């Protein structure tokens, strides 16, 4: 039976909604990867009484308790002193932590203050986990075969502590079984329809393997998980399962292991030495933003037009007034002309265009909210597709952006790599 793990996040800023707790999501994902799944997450205030109470409560159920927050240099961070008291210890200066503080601050040309030096004081009976990204160390406590790790709440510091030492120390301490995950990234088909498509495949999974559906607007991640004592055998089975699942969802699969759709598209364009531009109406620049999030995107993305108003479509994308009057802005004819006009004016190999009714109003019986046309112009001509999304404006923008990128991906892959 795997040890039980719980997370305690400390900070009034989390409780009042000023800070979103992203640490727990990251910890939960990475603890699962080493065979220590998180069973409970608790958020508490900076009060010593709350810290003691939560720690007693968690240790009554769990073998691993991970604490984030309350270890900064300011006076309102009380966690360290509370932990020293809880584990019947006293604060002493740790020379390794002291050296790390001097090294980090001198590298940034910052003065070393008394407040910084105080962070070298740690409970005498803790095992220090060095923090390569900050001045507050991680602290490992053991009691009755259970482990408590306290870490700073700053996400990049917490991640550095866990990735450099914490995860490996926990896996070694608890002798956890091998656990593997493989994520297949899909778009174009919703969770329920994917589940229907994969019923027989899922029913045939080996006993130590499972499939999880992780949906978000416009996308579903399929995560295969497997556990066992023989890692090599697990890897062999995982490869076979990944291959067979990939065949079943080939039409919707765009990548593996959290790669984004825009990264996949960018890689395909770069490999083929192709360029792209965008003409966006309902997506309002969202597609251009996604594309330019990827480092090096200037090699293939030349620019875009946010043609939200009809007169901009006419002036810059060669859409005609007659076309708008006959078909309306949200139509196949207009979106295809937007793509062709964009391709012409930017001089790119490909261009993609969107026009739709994002909502919450503006819909009609013929064209309800969520109606969206997407077009891609390229060497083979223009292809377009109509989508009917929902009534949620933000979701519609995300889904339209991903639909456009996916249509572009399909068209780019038809081109030969140069």
pLDDT at 70 over 80: no
CA distance 216 to 395: 9
Question: Residue 416: which residues within 8 A CB-CB, separation 6 or more?
Answer: 272
pLDDT above 90 coverage of the chain, percent: 83
Q: Which residues are paired to 179 by β-bridges?
A: 227
pTM above 0.85, yes or no: no
Q: Are residues 84 and 189 in the same domain?
A: no
What would the mean pLDDT of 296-310 be, rounded to a whole number?
97
Burial environment of residue 402 by CB neighbours within 10 A (0 to 12, 13 to 18, 19 or more):
buried
CATH code where residue 285 lies: 3.90.950.20
CA distance 395 to 9: 30
pLDDT at residue 278, rounded to an integer: 98
Q: Are residues 287 and 242 in the same domain?
A: no
Q: Are residues 129 and 182 in the same domain?
A: no
pLDDT at 2 over 80: no
Question: Residue 384: which residues within 8 A CB-CB, separation 6 or more?
Answer: 332, 335, 336, 339, 373, 374, 375, 376
Q: Are residues 120 and 195 in the same domain?
A: no
Q: Are residues 34 and 165 in the same domain?
A: yes
Burial environment of residue 344 by CB neighbours within 10 A (0 to 12, 13 to 18, 19 or more):
middle
Q: Which region among 120-124, 182-186, 243-247 has the lowest average model confidence (pLDDT)?
A: 120-124
CA distance 386 to 282: 13
Side-chain-side CA neighbours of 17 within 13 Å: the count stands at 0
CATH code where residue 115 lies: 3.40.980.10
Alpha-carbon Rg for the chain in angstroms: 27
Q: Are residues 214 and 338 in the same domain?
A: no
| Intra-chain end-to-end CA distance of the chain, in Å | 53
Final residue before a domain boundary, out of 214, 232, 256: 256
CA distance 386 to 362: 17
Domain that holds residue 337: 261-412
pLDDT at residue 77, rounded to an integer: 59
Domain membership flag for residue 352: yes
> Which residue is it, tokens 């416009």?
218
CA distance 291 to 298: 9
Q: Using 50, 70 and 90 to split pLDDT, how confident is the model at 72?
A: low
Domain membership flag for residue 347: yes
CA distance 371 to 11: 44
pLDDT at 75 over 70: no
Domain membership flag for residue 417: no
Q: Are residues 297 and 157 in the same domain?
A: no
Q: How many domains does the chain have?
A: 3
């Amino acid at each position: 039976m795997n040890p039980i793990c719980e997370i305690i996040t400390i900070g009034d800023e989390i409780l009042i909604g000023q800070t979103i707790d992203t640490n727990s999501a990251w910890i939960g994902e990475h603890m699962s990867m080493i065979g220590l799944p998180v069973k409970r997450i608790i958020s508490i205030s900076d009060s010593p009484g709350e810290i003691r109470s939560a720690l007693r409560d968690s240790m009554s159920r769990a073998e691993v308790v991970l604490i984030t927050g309350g270890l900064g240099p300011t006076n309102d961070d009380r966690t360290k002193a509370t932990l020293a008291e809880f584990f019947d210890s006293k604060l002493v200066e740790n020379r390794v932590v002291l050296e790390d503080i001097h090294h980090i601050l001198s590298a940034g040309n910052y003065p070393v203050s008394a407040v910084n030096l105080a962070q070298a004081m740690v409970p005498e009976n803790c095992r220090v986990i060095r923090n390569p990204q900050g001045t507050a160390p991680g602290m490992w406590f053991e009691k009755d075969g259970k482990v408590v790790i306290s870490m700073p709440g700053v996400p990049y510091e917490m991640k550095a502590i866990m990735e450099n030492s914490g995860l490996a120390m926990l896996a070694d301490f608890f002798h956890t079984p091998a656990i593997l995950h493989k994520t297949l990234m899909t778009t174009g088909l919703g969770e329920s329809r994917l589940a229907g498509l994969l019923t027989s495949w899922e029913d045939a999974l080996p006993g130590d393997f499972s499939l999880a559906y992780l949906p978000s607007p416009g996308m579903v991640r399929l995560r295969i998980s497997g556990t066992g004592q023989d890692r090599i055998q697990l890897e062999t089975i995982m490869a076979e399962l990944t291959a067979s699942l990939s065949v079943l969802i080939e039409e919707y699969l765009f990548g593996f292991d959290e790669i984004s759709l825009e990264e996949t598209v960018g890689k395909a364009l770069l490999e083929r030495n192709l360029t792209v531009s965008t003409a966006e109406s309902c997506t309002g620049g969202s597609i251009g933003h996604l594309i330019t999030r990827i480092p090096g995107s200037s090699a293939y993305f030349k620019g875009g037009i946010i043609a939200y108003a009809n007169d901009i479509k006419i002036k810059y994308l060669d859409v005609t007034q007659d076309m708008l009057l006959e078909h309306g802005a949200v139509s196949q004819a207009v979106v295809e002309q937007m793509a062709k006009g964009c391709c012409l004016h930017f001089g790119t190999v490909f261009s993609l265009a969107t026009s739709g009714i994002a909502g919450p109003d503006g819909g009609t019986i013929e064209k309800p909210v969520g109606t969206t046309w997407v077009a891609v112009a390229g060497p083979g001509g223009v292809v377009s597709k109509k989508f009917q999304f929902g009534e949620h404006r933000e979701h519609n923008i995300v889904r339209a952006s991903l639909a456009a990128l996916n249509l572009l991906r399909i068209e780019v892959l038809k081109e030969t790599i140069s």
